[in-house]
Structure 1
Amino acid sequence: KVNISNPADAEAKARIYYDACIDTNETIEKLGEKPLVAVIKQLGGWHILPSTMTKQKWDLQKLVQDVQNTFNLGGLFNWAVTEDDRNSSKHVIVLDQGGLNLPTRDNYLNRTAHKKVLDAYLDYMTRICVLLGANKTEARAQMNKVILFETELANITTPSEDRRDEEGLYNPYTIRQWQKEVPFVNWTMFFNDAFKLVNRTIPDTERIVVYAPEYFKNLTKVIKKYSRTEEDQRTLTSYMMWQVSRSLSTYLSKSFRDATKILRKALFGSEGTEESWRYCVTDTNNAVGFAVGAMFVREVFHGEAKTQGEIMINNIRNAFKRNLKNLDWMDAETRKAAEIKADAITDMIGFPDYILHKDELDKQYEELEVKPNEYFENNIAFNVFSLKNDLNKLDKPVNKTKWGMTPSTVNAYYTPTKNQIVFPAGILQLPFYDGDNPKGVNYGAMGVVMGHELTHAFDDQGREYDRFGNLNQWWNNATIARFKERAKCIQDQYSNYSVEGQRLNGKQTLGENIADNGGLKASFHAYLDYAKTAKVNLTLPGLKYNDRQLFFISFAQVWCSAMTKESTKMQIEKDDHTIAKYRVIGPIANLREFSEQFHCPIGSKMNPRDKCEVW
């Protein structure tokens, strides 16, 4: 139970936010489309909703600014204030490609294979427009034009598999230089419009980093083409208004939320009819996650998991470092530097300490205003709150202890610019970890996740960052060439796997596959080290497997999952991670120790003669 009498209390804000989402008094239902229609009107109106039209002249600069900077919603491109890859203690403004509403560019470009998705997308768009008050025939015709416009964007978007070289993505400019290259908006005006929120002016000498300069140069041509006639300008406006409507319609009444099922069914093979408390928990966690995290940690997190986790990480790090001397492709100097980088990796486990100190937690959310029964407005307030926090970072040094995931998240991550691995409390529970599990079972599940995140520091992207988290070549060229040869072996191995006749993309998933392979090996060796000195190596009652075999069974169990055909297809096309089945089979087939434990004859499916090894 949360006391909501003090609205400045962060946990009270979480409760009020959640209650507004649950909507017991049906405020959201009664309001219907009104909150979103008001936003569209504020943005200058949309011709398919005549009641929203104002007398404003068409002005793309203003529209892009209002959508991106007033409401913190996307459109045409993405931008953020983030760590500078070449100087990771400072922040910088970064521009990148963006603006597609379907998961991948392929959804637009491969029309035959994605016909079902494109048809459902058009139905979904039309449905939302009709719910907002548009005429169905007119809305459908207009949304078709938006899909064609998004297809133009897809055409100039670089596929994610070709964006793995971090050095190649880093393109610094001053705003003045950038303006000459990409003139479709006035960039000094655009950034000053955003930063007025934090009273900061941006001179045209400000340095920015662009991850996709070609995209922006091509976007300039696309915008030019769509600015000629009034009809084309309307398409651009409709595209921006659709960005806004798609993002914000999920905060409206049930009929709007039901509309998303049309698209979900085509993309994922199921409508995902989840009970409202589930999406309200997700939503609250997204907005006020560290306040929710404080409740989660108090209720269910055991401190021993943090202590044990630290011990496991150190054992796995030591096993990883010891294995470096077995890698004949590394020269001595790079090997030494890799060892130093592994030692420099910092880790954070469980949760940030401040969340258990009420005053500090309240301070974190003091600028976020959350009101009862105002679910739509609360989400807009959260968008502005997030933008403001983002903008405020520009002149501040990078906080290396800031968490990027909330405590209840079942996940983990590595940040190359901080050279840091993070494991939230949410993952330190079954099936990944339990204090009462035999150690081999914990090392097979949680240990492999720890090894995986640690190996990311040395995957095809992570290896480009030095121990301080700066993008910088710290390997010699001959070693880089040998690394690439080894990585190519992994890439080809995974590209040869297929599901339902669809080949996996070994290039797109390379970093994750390197991490899966390195993580399994490091954790297994760390467990063997532990087992040597343990008084007794426990197994599980009723099973005939020894502790080392249980390590592998525990590893495989973590990936036990059921997926629809559509979700599998989508994951292969979009995700950097390989599908679950091959996250088990791939690394195990490369690890000699697995076949030793299970006596797989050489040349059998799980013990191929030719194995791939990077780390």
Structure 2
Amino acid sequence: MNMTRVLSFLQMARYKKTELVEEDISSVSSIQLNEGVSTTTTHIRYHTGISVWGSRSHLEKCLLVLVASLLLIVVVLTALLSASPGFTPSPAIPSQCNFSDDNFESMCLTDTCVYTASEMARSIDKTVDPCDDFYAYACNGWIKNNPIPDGKSMWSIFGKIELQNQLIVKNILEKMDIDKVKSKAEQKARIYYDACMDANETIEALGGAPLQEIIRKIGGWNISNSGFNVQKFDFQAILQNLQNGYNLGGLFNWAVGEDDKSSSKHVIIIDQGGLNLPTRDNYLNKTSHKKILDAYLEFMTKISVLLGGNETHAKEQMSLVIDFETELANITIPAENRRDEELLYMNMTVTELEVMAPFLRWQDFFNDAFRRVNKKISNKDKVVVYASDYLKKLSRVVAKFMETDKGKNTMNNYFVWQAAKSLSPYLSKAFRDAAKILRKAIFGSEGGEELWRYCVTDTNNAIGFAVGAMFVREVFHGPSKPQAEEMIEGLRTAFKRNLKNLAWMDSETREAAILKADAISDMIGFPDYILNPQELDKQYSDLKVEPNKYFQNNIMVNFHALRKNLERLDQPVNRTRWGMTPTTVNAYYTPTKNQIVFPAGILQIPFYDGRNPRSINYGAIGVVMGHELTHAFDDQGREYDRNGNLNQWWNNKTTNQFKLRTACIRDQYSNYTLEGTKLNGKQSLGENIADNGGLKAAFNAYLDYTKNALKNETLPGLNFTHRQLFFVSFAQVWCSSMTKEASTLMIEKDDHSAPRYRVIGSLTNLPEFSREFNCSLGSKMNPVKKCEVW
């Protein structure tokens, strides 16, 4: 949710063309680890016909229950014995049939429920005591039945749904009659996708020529003998060319975003940036990351050679670029030390910025960008800086390298490498394959998904809301939206009620917190405008996309994203603007809007299906909703008031009590280990607070629902109570596997804890879980010491 996350989305905008260019958000899932797609998954929809249940006699109902249960047992056991011998969950037939309507109506026998029950049974490992390791109990079967696909480093429920969504989008795009589509934006999506698929092999024929042309335009490169002259090296010009001309990165990140202290306004925001490996530790801990650094150098050298360079010379020059990036890593502030928004925020004039960071003529830099939207920046205009120490030190680093021709040459190589690294994926196969060795070192997998999956993802990144319109029309039907809204209201009520039970909060802060909870707005499914062709077309009116011009289309998309972002300066904040496209399998909270958002992509089985028992839905999507709601009150979200403004609205005594409780969470997660390495409980603090608070709020909301429910269904063939199903459902959406390399990266980079500890950490802190599964006090899942914030 902090500015590191904001500008990580900016980097995605520049390197992957996504439209997420300024959202300050906290998401529920670790999207940065989903580096590739490699397997085909068939999307199966489950439809329930008109029910004839009510016309049956009591005897017929009882017999049908028994027959259905026996059939389910046969299906489940057959699947288990064939797919994973050794795992023997024991679905149970109802012990008696007393011919009571309540008894029959409490069991859901729709095709959706039978499927859900079967999937749950296949995932459970009955050889594990749920009071010893609930994650293993709930997920070992899933892990055994779902090995990591070739080419991927992580496999999870999120990944499976994402693949299903991609298949849906592929079918829509390929079946589209482009001449009959009313929306020009959707036509552009199809043209972009076709250009990516490259049926005419235009991309292969061009090779590296499109990128070589850009390198010549930005001043040349000595590695490829493309006209670089060190005596004419212009630091300001090349930086402006990269960032303002091609919307690429380098040295720092900047964008137009919402002002944290005046959230109804847009302002220029500047933060640290410039590293090309995932973490600063990749550069600074050279011993443990030698494999990654070696692979990075090999990747850089291969791209250089493909662009016309000599291998030996290129390797020497790229080694110096890595040294330069290491200097940047040395002055980069670690993410765990950047969690206090109030301390990071600095509002200053452009003149003050030039005094603080004189390595750049900032007014000229901004005016070079804003001339594209006919705006002008004065030296008195305000900017918000989140990395003042970094920018001060960066000025000294730049000054040192500008002292010698060798230093200037290295900086030029660094800038050209930004373009080469960012744009090479849009060139021929040889360029895309060059990255495999680096992906293998970082993620433990070479990637290499099927071309159509890559192109679906890339089209969604480029023209995501046009793709979203097609996706929504295809799959997002029925009562999903009102049912989701009903669940959110129930969670809000449960969360507010719990605030009144927290003795550590003073009454004034508690009342303000209740007002903030009431003010949290929600957006579900998709923005309404995308189903209006005229309104959707406005979003992409200045985007030019042409057949058989994949590389150039990418350049145009980059420029489109930059222009859209620059236009926001001096414009009021649109509080209904989405930061994720509808197909996204994720959810998020935006503190400056005090808003939670749930795209259509995540509102499907196993997270949500209106035909499943509510215990399943509350345990899955309900906890996700509670997670995002709790982000409004985590260690960073709590700094924003109900209007989305950063200010100190808490009583000091309550703030101190809050910090004591969050320290307990921090220490708890810091003691967990993954692949022999301890988690970083400080870095993941906000997400862990949200996980714990979301689970508690969702469980209490589910209990509230059961009080007035006309029927409270359970699943057939599973020997679980309704409440136990809630916890199993919660745990199983986090079932996942990952390579050792991906695990290491998650610990070093991700704000979220590893899936295993998202389950174990939250459940061990919730007494209600231990009561439902009869875990004795002192058992691993019911420790004596528990942490509680919300």
The two structures have a TM-score, normalised by structure 2, of 0.77
Verify: 1:413 aligned to 2:588, yes or no.
yes
1:128 to 303, 306, 329: 303
2:734 to 556, 559, 566: 559
Q: Is the 8 A contact 1:40 1:52 kept in 2?
A: no
| Partner amino acid, structure 1, of 2:654 | T
The SS at the match of 1:458 is: coil
Q: Is the 8 A contact 1:3 1:12 kept in 2?
A: no
Partner of 2:176: 2
What do residues 357-380 of structure 1 show as CA deviations (whole Å, max 9, x unaligned)? 111111111110000000100010
1:367 to 530, 542, 552: 542
2:446 to 271, 278, 293: 271
Aligned partners of 2:623 and 2:328: how far apart in 1? Answer: 39
Q: Please show how residues 73-112 of structure 1 align to structure 2 within 5 Å.
A: 73-112=248-287
1:343 to 518, 535, 550: 518
Partner of 1:425: 600
Aligned partners of 1:248 and 1:535: how far apart in 2? Answer: 57
Partner of 2:558: 383
Partner of 1:220: 395
Aligned partners of 1:44 and 1:492: how far apart in 2? Answer: 51
C-alpha deviation, 1:530, in angstroms:
0.4
What do residues 118-175 of structure 1 show as CA deviations (whole Å, max 9, x unaligned)? 0100011101101111000000000000000000000000000000000011001100
Q: Is the 8 A contact 2:259 2:266 kept in 1?
A: yes
Verify: 1:328 aligned to 2:503, yes or no.
yes
Aligned partners of 2:332 and 2:603: how far apart in 1? Answer: 38
Partner of 1:281: 456
Q: Is the 8 A contact 1:8 1:366 kept in 2?
A: no
1:146 to 297, 315, 321: 321
The structure whose Rg is larger is 2
| Partner amino acid, structure 2, of 1:201 | K
C-alpha deviation, 1:178, in angstroms:
1.1
Partner of 1:253: 428
| RMSD of aligned Cα (Å) | 1.0
Partner of 2:467: 292
Partner of 1:309: 484
Q: What stretches of structure 1 of length at least 5 have no aligned partner?
A: none
C-alpha deviation, 1:55, in angstroms:
9.1
Q: Please show how residues 95-244 of structure 1 align to structure 2 within 5 Å.
A: 95-244=270-419
Partner of 1:574: 749
| Partner amino acid, structure 1, of 2:176 | V
Verify: 1:66 aligned to 2:241, yes or no.
yes
Partner of 1:503: 678
Name whichever of 44-53 and 480-489 sits farther off. 44-53
C-alpha deviation, 1:189, in angstroms:
0.4
Aligned partners of 1:248 and 1:304: how far apart in 2? Answer: 42
What do residues 330-352 of structure 1 show as CA deviations (whole Å, max 9, x unaligned)? 00110110000000000000001
Q: Is the 8 A contact 1:459 1:511 kept in 2?
A: yes
The SS at the match of 2:222 is: coil
Aligned partners of 2:690 and 2:405: how far apart in 1? Answer: 51
Q: Is the 8 A contact 2:215 2:226 kept in 1?
A: no
Q: Is the 8 A contact 1:48 1:134 kept in 2?
A: yes
The SS at the match of 2:223 is: coil
Aligned partners of 2:570 and 2:275: how far apart in 1? Answer: 31
Aligned partners of 1:56 and 1:390: how far apart in 2? Answer: 35
Verify: 1:522 aligned to 2:691, yes or no.
no
Partner of 2:111: none
Aligned partners of 1:361 and 1:191: how far apart in 2? Answer: 29
Higher relative contact order (CA 8 A, sep 6+): 2
Name whichever of 215-224 and 51-60 sits farther off. 51-60
C-alpha deviation, 1:564, in angstroms:
0.4
Aligned partners of 1:496 and 1:415: how far apart in 2? Answer: 30
Q: Is the 8 A contact 1:2 1:11 kept in 2?
A: no
Partner of 2:668: 493
C-alpha deviation, 1:50, in angstroms:
1.1
Aligned partners of 2:551 and 2:781: how far apart in 1? Answer: 53
Name whichever of 322-331 and 48-57 sits farther off. 48-57
Verify: 1:356 aligned to 2:536, yes or no.
no
The SS at the match of 2:752 is: coil
Q: What stretches of structure 2 of length at least 5 have no aligned partner?
A: 1-174
Aligned partners of 1:358 and 1:417: how far apart in 2? Answer: 29
| Partner amino acid, structure 2, of 1:592 | P
The SS at the match of 2:383 is: strand
